[in-house]
Chains A and B, each alone.
Chain A
């Protein structure tokens, strides 16, 4: 298992080096995205003014404090607590995020399914697992909220975070068809019969 540091934005070649089970630390920039953000982007045809090409998005809806915009804080928001939500609900947006917006990395918790795995393989992307619920720690990896698009969807806006040493994150799904979630699921299924037999419920 190798550890990698990736500066954002990154290239397809950077992603192809990662294998499921490796760990990754991200630098520079990260975009926050959520259910409503993607429903608006892909179901309602709304376009973002951000360039997501080669970037990482994280499934989040942060706790923020509104402040007066200034030269040092143009977004007008300070982070209170930023953490990661369950990715599974957003499965169907993986491919459009990659094809239309050029996103290379999706960060979340709980994993994504087969359609996403195929998109990562075909288009050169990956899924990085953050430890869900560990938001106080995650917030310390974010140095500022730099900008926000679709402010009306707050907290499910499209956020641009400045990050430093964001991670370590675990490569949950790689661009070669590897998936820790699929492996665990297969192992769980294979244990199910024995577990039920022991319960007298086979």
Chain B
């Protein structure tokens, strides 16, 4: 076996990762991405229910107040999730990366300060660090983009995360079983998940992958479409179906139940038909940092 080294590598120091993790957690809690703001204006233009329109107006006012006062959009600082995309030609110590993300998360929590929403699941003790076993959640993916490291931060609030559902349907349940499950999940979640939502649907995979896909779908920017043709068709059908239920913003009735339904699919076993739902609330927060040889770009 030989070891190969090449000159053209991107190196990002653990200190830079730590600073980015801290900055992204605070930024995500304060500034909503433009696609979500536009989503609000689209819903507001088409909403026919009077109470629902006033609820949407309050949500839009909140976005403005948060930016003007530099305050958090929502008090729920969530479970911190970091999605890391590592491009080709990035030289990285993976262990140091994980440590740096946790340190940045803890510093954001203590220095801002933020409410730590993370406790030990059995003792319920809060370390006031937003960290604990396996938290922050860190998802790592490897992508083709050369010399690029992308860090995406998603604070996942509990109101919406408690509206997560998984069902291991069987092949005989078919696609109609999948659709029925999603509609019933939306009904069960009702107003508790802070609608209007992005409803994330995972179809296929294993149980854990299916749930992960639902989360990926729920946190995908508005306007993006599933890259599978069948999945994309399902997005349109389910979005129309969920909004026809009349749950409305905050579950108080109206047309604006979901900004969109997003679907992600994975191949599955011949004897399996898994479906999962994960919800992103109306405060659909995210922030990102992209490192390249030219520097770092902060965005959504």
Contacts and interface: CB of A to CB of B under 8 A. Distances in A.
Contacts, number: 176
A199 B247 CA distance: 18
Nearest to A200: B176
Interface of B: 51, 55, 58-59, 61-62, 65-66, 69, 71-77, 112-117, 124, 126, 157-159, 162, 175-177, 179-180, 183, 187, 190-194, 237-238, 240-241, 244-248, 250-253, 281-283
Contact of A131 (B62, B71, B192): B62
Contact of B72 (A60, A66, A135, A183): A135
B247 A188 contact: yes
Nearest to B257: A188
B73 A133 contact: yes
A147 B177 CA distance: 52
A199 B245 CA distance: 13
A33 interface: no
A161 B244 CA distance: 40
**Which 9 A-B pairs have CB atoms at the shortest separation, nearest pair first?**
A83-B75, A136-B66, A134-B62, A201-B176, A110-B192, A81-B72, A201-B179, A63-B115, A135-B75
A40 B191 CA distance: 27
B62 A80 contact: no
Given A131-B62, A195-B241, A200-B176, A111 B191 contact: yes
Contacts of B112: 80
B73 A191 contact: no
Interface residues of A, number: 52
A132 B189 CA distance: 14
A136 B69 contact: yes
A81 B285 CA distance: 16
Contact of A88 (B59, B71, B115, B192): B192
A81 B245 contact: no
Contacts of B61: 134, 137
Nearest to A188: B245
Contacts of A185: 190
Given A85-B75, A184-B191, A199-B183, 13 more contacts: A61-B75, A63-B114, A66-B113, A80-B72, A86-B158, A110-B194, A131-B58, A133-B59, A133-B282, A135-B71, A139-B71, A181-B190, A196-B180
Given A36-B124, A188-B245, A135 B74 contact: yes
A166 to B, nearest CB: 13
A140 B65 contact: yes
Contacts of B191: 109-111, 181, 184
A180 interface: yes
Contacts of B190: 110-111, 181, 184-185, 188
24 contacts: A62-B115, A63-B77, A63-B113, A81-B74, A86-B159, A109-B191, A110-B159, A111-B192, A132-B194, A133-B59, A133-B157, A133-B194, A135-B71, A136-B74, A137-B62, A181-B251, A184-B247, A188-B190, A192-B245, A196-B183, A199-B179, A199-B241, A201-B175, A201-B183
A198 to B, nearest CB: 7
Given A63-B77, A80-B71, A110-B159, A131 B250 contact: yes
A106 interface: no
Interface in A176-193: 180-181, 183-185, 187-189, 191-192
Given A201-B176, A201-B180, A137 B65 contact: yes
B58 A183 contact: no
B76 A195 contact: no
A85 B193 CA distance: 10
A36 B157 CA distance: 17
Contacts of A88: 192
Residue with the highest number of chain B CB atoms closer than 10 Å, among A21, A65, A192, A200: A192
A38 to B, nearest CB: 14
A31 to B, nearest CB: 16
Contacts of A188: 187, 190, 245-247
A137 B241 contact: no
A34 B289 CA distance: 35
A140 B187 contact: no
Nearest to A153: B126
A60 B75 CA distance: 8
A111 B251 CA distance: 9
A87 to B, nearest CB: 8
Interface in A41-96: 60-66, 80-86, 88-89
Contact of A196 (B62, B179, B252): B179
Contact of B283 (A133, A140, A189, A200): A133
A19 to B, nearest CB: 14
Contacts of B75: 60-63, 81-85, 135
